[in-house]
Structure 1
């Protein structure tokens, strides 16, 4: 038999043993309990929870405010009279008595001041203003003389309030709506105007803003 040349074996493919791949270096794991119990992680969780609570409360308050937009207080002077209104030597002295009613017109919101005013409720106040002697200028002397002759004095009364609103279970921030009452009062010395008497007067009150 003829011998095959050795070069034929050198040209054939050779499959040797597989070279193992490099194994990735494994780092030591830190137990999860160490992350959960670290002060920094606890502080982050607390801050996130507080932020979520504040956002939820803010959205709730805004939603309630938009749904139950509060109406301003309705204030009326039911009765008023001057028992004294004298001007002597540029000094004004007066005694004014008035009965004031404050109504909460809101169907769903309560109003807090020194006491709680329930929904759709009217509260009455008896007021007394005693003043003088007050120094006044020449223009007041002229106005006083003219109004006394007419039999009616025009007096402006301003009042200030500090109230809170309550819608369902949420209390609002404190508001300070102001009120103005323009009163037409009969002159104490004029019999005609005293017979006519004081007419119920509505006051202007600021919005809850």
Structure 2
């Protein structure tokens, strides 16, 4: 059997993935694991501390999965692949996506400091594509982390609108909209 903190994180992750951070409480975790809420607090001093750990676990899981993918040498193709990765996560695990990228959270990475210093390993995958694109002359010179934010913010905004019922498209049409949005941005920044 895994140690109690690992079991707590696993239970919290399941709750967050299914219902977002609002679905996670120390009481629900205690019930799921046969522990009292106070036993949960012995391992995590606050709900926020546990949510930070869950976020770290989720970002690591997504980062590690994306690191195993082959990234095309063609910069636009690589960026479209990154859009597909984000859209896949948003459509397959909408609550997890919202928790990771949209919901306010005390320990969340913050622009510009955390992004410009590489504290977000997941974001660094994107800036690596951008840096390579700039070096190859496929993208105009720019600060990669600012360009990465410009590229991802469009997808995050579209996902928030889609999840909020403000975009009424099938999953396939929504994916096309995200790619169209990226292509419109690329047409303005290609060298």
Indicate the structure whose relative CO is greater, using CA pairs within 8 Å and at least 6 residues apart: 2
Report which of the two has the higher share of helix: 2
Report which of the two has the higher share of strand: 1
TM-score range relative to shorter protein:
under 0.3
TM-score by length of 2: 0.24
TM-score by length of 1: 0.23
